Structure 1
Amino acid sequence: MQIAYVVDTFPKRSETFVRDEVEWMARRGCLDRVFALKSEPEALEELSDNVRKRIRLLPEIEAPEMYSRLNRLRWLRRQPGLFRSRLMARSMSRESFEQFVLGSALARMLRAEPLPDAMHVHFAGLSAHLARYARHITGVPYTFCAHHYDIFHSAPPNFPVLTHDAARMTTISEYNRRYLIEHFKLPADKIEVIHCGIDTERFDSDTRASAQERVAGESTLNLISVGRLTAVKAQSDQIEAARLLADAGLDFKLRIIGDGEQSAALSKQIDTLGLSSHVQLLGAQASRTVRQELRRADIFVMSSLSEGIPVALMEAMATRLPVITTGVRGIPELVIDQVNGVLVPENNPRALADAIHDLAADPTRRHSMGESGRQTVIESFSADKEYRKLAQVWERNVSR
C-alpha cells in the first residue's frame, strides 16, 4: 500500500514524530510522496535521502491569482456540480476558497505521478482541508490524525465534515478520543487511538552513568526541559521554581531546549531573578543534540498547562530519565504518579520545586523511576507497534 503524506510544514524540528513516522513508512516501501506547503531548511539535513527526494512543495498561490486559477481548472468542467452551489452563489468564505484552490493544486500534483492508495494528514488544520478537496477531485481517500492544539485551541469549525469525509480519523490519546466524541459529537466508531511512537533504541542510554554513579562524580543536579517556548508550555513556572530552588541552596542547572514567542520574556525573567548561573535557554536544537542533552541530565521537567501525550516526555522516559510533569489531559496515560514519574499541579512553581528537591535527595528513587519509565514506553509507546497499528487502519479502511 502506498501512502502520501500531506502536512503544513515538513520537515519541522518541533514535529519529530511526523518525521519519524514518515521515515518508518519509507523504510518499509509504503511512502509515496510527502506534500507540504513549506519546509524548514535546517531540518532537511535530518532526513534520509529516500524521504528527502519524495518531498513535493505545494505552489505558493497569492490570493489575487486564485480567481483566475480557478477558471483554468480542467476538472471543474468535468465535474461542474461538485462545488457549483457554493461557488456560483459566492457563498464560500475566502479561507475556504483558498483551501479549495490549494486542494486543487494538490490534486494535480497527485495525478502527476501514479496515484497513491491513500493520503494521511497530521493535524486537523489546513492540510486536512486540502486533502479533503483533493479526495473529491481524485478519488484518493484520506485519513487524518488530530493531536492537541488542533482539538483544544484551534479546532476546525467543520470537524464533523472532515471526519465524515475521511476514511478514518486517529488521535494520540484516549482523553482526546473521549473529548472528540463528547464535545464535537463525532462518531465513536470512526476514531482510533494511535500514539505518537518513539524509537526506543535511539533513546537507549546505556552510555549514561547510573544515577548513583553520577551523584558520586558530580554534585550539580542537571535538569532538562524540552518544548516550544509558548504560554501553554509555561516555562515561566520552571524558572520561578528555579528561583525557589536557588533560594533553598540547591546546586543545580536547568537547561531549556526550544524556541518560540516567549523566548524574550523568559530571558528577561531569568535576568530579573538573577538566575543566569542556574538557567540556560538553549534555543531550538537538532534531534542529535536533544538526545545528548537528555543523556547528560538527571531529571526531566515539564510544566505545561495543556498537553496531549508529549513526545518530549516519552523521549525523556525512553532515556531512563525520571520525569516531573503536570498531570494535564493525556499525560496520566503515560506517567503514573510516583511509579515512573511525578505529577504536580499546573501553575504551581512551589509544587514543582518541592518535587525536584525531593528527587534530588533520592538518587535510588530517580533510578527506579527512570527504569520504570523506559519500560512503559517500550510496552505501550514504541514506534514499531504504533506505526504497525496505523498501517492496519489503512488496510482495514482504505479502498478507492
Structure 2
Amino acid sequence: MTDADPSGQGPLAGLRVLDISTVVAAPFAATLLADYGADVVKAELPGEGDGLRSFPPFKDGKSLWWKVANRGKRFVELDLRTPEGADLFARMIPDFDVVIENFRPGTLERWGLGPDVLMGLNPSLVLLRVTGFGQDGPAANRPGFARLFEAMSGLTHMTGEPDGAPMHAGHPMGDSIGGVFGALSVTTALLSVRSDPQRRGQVIDLSLTEAMFRLLDFQTIGYDQLGRVIERTGNRNQYSAPADVYPTADGRFISLAGSTQATFRANLRAIGREDLNDDPRFSGNAQRVENVEAIDAIFRAWFAAHSQDEAIARFREAGGTLAPILSIDQIFEDPQFQAREAIVAVPDDDFGEVRMQAVVPRFSRSPTRPGRAAGRLGRDTEAVLRPYAPAPDPAREP
C-alpha cells in the first residue's frame, strides 16, 4: 500500500471504484468497498467538496466525521457540470469497474453522462445509483435525508415510549444502512459480471427508503395477515420477554435479551428464581410476551437491588444474556473491544494519527486494515487525473 493509493490489500484488491456521491449513504458504500481493498477515487466539486466536510465534530476546523466516513480513498477535484469535466470523467470510465452516484434522478443524463453513455464506454460497468426514493415514482425527485427514510419506512413510528412521540436514533441510521445495502449490491452485481459470458454490467437503483423498509421484516407481513400496526413499546422488545433496559442500583443501565427457553432458564438462575420455570405464564416465549408486565416487574426489581457490576457477574456465572449499555469512553476501555482490536490507529494528514473502527468483518485469507483517514480536498488530483488529461492542441501552442 502506497501513500498515493491506500488500497492494495483485502478481498477486493484490484477493484477500481469512482465515487462521485456526497454526504453519507452512497459515500459509505464506497468506503466499505475501500475497507475491503478496492481502489476508490472520490471526485468532488472544485473549491467546495463534499458537504460532509462541514459536519461536526471538528478539531482545528477539520471535520472528524469526514475523516472516518471517507477513509481509504483518493481525492480529486472534478466538475462534471462543465464540458471539460464531463469529458475527463468519460475518459476515466473504461479503467473503472464501479461508479457510485447519488444525484437526483436525471442529473447524470442532463450532463450527458447517463447510464447508456457510461455503459457504452465500459459495457462491464456497475453503476450504483443511490436516491432517497428510487429512480421513478411520484417521490423520485424529492430531496432525501436519513430521517425522511426512517420516518417513511415505519421504523420511527414504532420507536419511542408508548405515551410519547416517535423517536429517531441519535445517528443517521438510514444512511448507514443504505450504505451497507449499496456495498452489498455492488459486490453482487460484480459477481454477475464475472459469471456472464459477455461480462455485461448493470445499473443498480437503490432507494434508501426501501432499504430501511426491507429491514423491518415482521411489520409488513403482520399487517398483511393480521391487520396489525406495530406501536411504540419503549425499550421493551416487540417479540420476546423479558427484554428491556433496566436501571441498576448504582444508576447505570443493563440491556437484557433472550427469547429461547434455555436463555430464559439461565436468566432465572442468575436472579435466583428457578421456581418460575414451572409457572405456566412463562412456559414459552409466546406466553411471556403475553404476560410481559408480570415477568418484566420481577427482573426490574432484581436489577434495581443490584449494581451493574454485580448483575454482570451473576449473569455471566449463570450463562445469562445481558450487556451493559456502554458509552464511547467505556467502549475504548472494554476488554472485548480491546482483545479484538476493534479500534485501530490510522494515519492522518492533519493529526498524524487518529483512532477509528477497524474493518468489519474479518477475512481469514485476505486480511484488511483501514487506509488512511480521509484527506484534504483535491489531495490526489494531479496523480489520478494526469493520465486522462487530453493531449495539448498543437494549434493552440504559441
Using structure 1 for the length normalisation, give the TM-score. Answer: 0.33
Greater helix share, structure number: 1
Structure with larger RCO (C-alpha < 8 A, sep 6+): 2
